[in-house]
Amino acid sequence: MKQTILALMLVILMAVAGCTGNNAGELFETAEFEELQKNHAHAAQLYGEILEKHPDSKYAGKARERLSVLEKSQH
């Protein structure tokens, strides 16, 4: 019985851990890191993902600004 409960808890923990990384704040932090690493294409992709998946979040405006800056720097 203890092994079953432990296995179930492990599965639940893995499921919860797998859900992280998709919220607007985490995406924005990752995009900022990608910019610092000069990986502008991936940063732009992440900012776009924020706008697509989280358009009403507090990060959407910031993502839009950063995406605009990145697009202007490519020209």
Tens of pLDDT, residue by residue over 40-49, are 999 999 999 9
Span 8-51, pLDDT tens digits: 565 564 554 444 557 999 999 999 999 999 999 999 999 999 99
Q: In the chain, which residue ranges form alpha helices assigned H by DSSP?
A: 2-19, 24-36, 40-53, 60-73
Does residue 57 register a pLDDT over 90? yes
The confidence score (pLDDT) of residue 4 equals 75
Q: How many CA atoms lie within 13 A of 14 on its CB side?
A: 6
Which residues are within 8 A (CB) of 48 and not within 5 positions of it... i.e. 6 or more apart?
63, 67
Q: Which residue has the higher pLDDT, 75 or 16?
A: 75
d(CA 48, CA 26): 14
- Model's pTM, two decimal places? 0.70
User: Angle at the Cα of 33 (from 56 to 19), degrees rounded to 5?
Assistant: 55
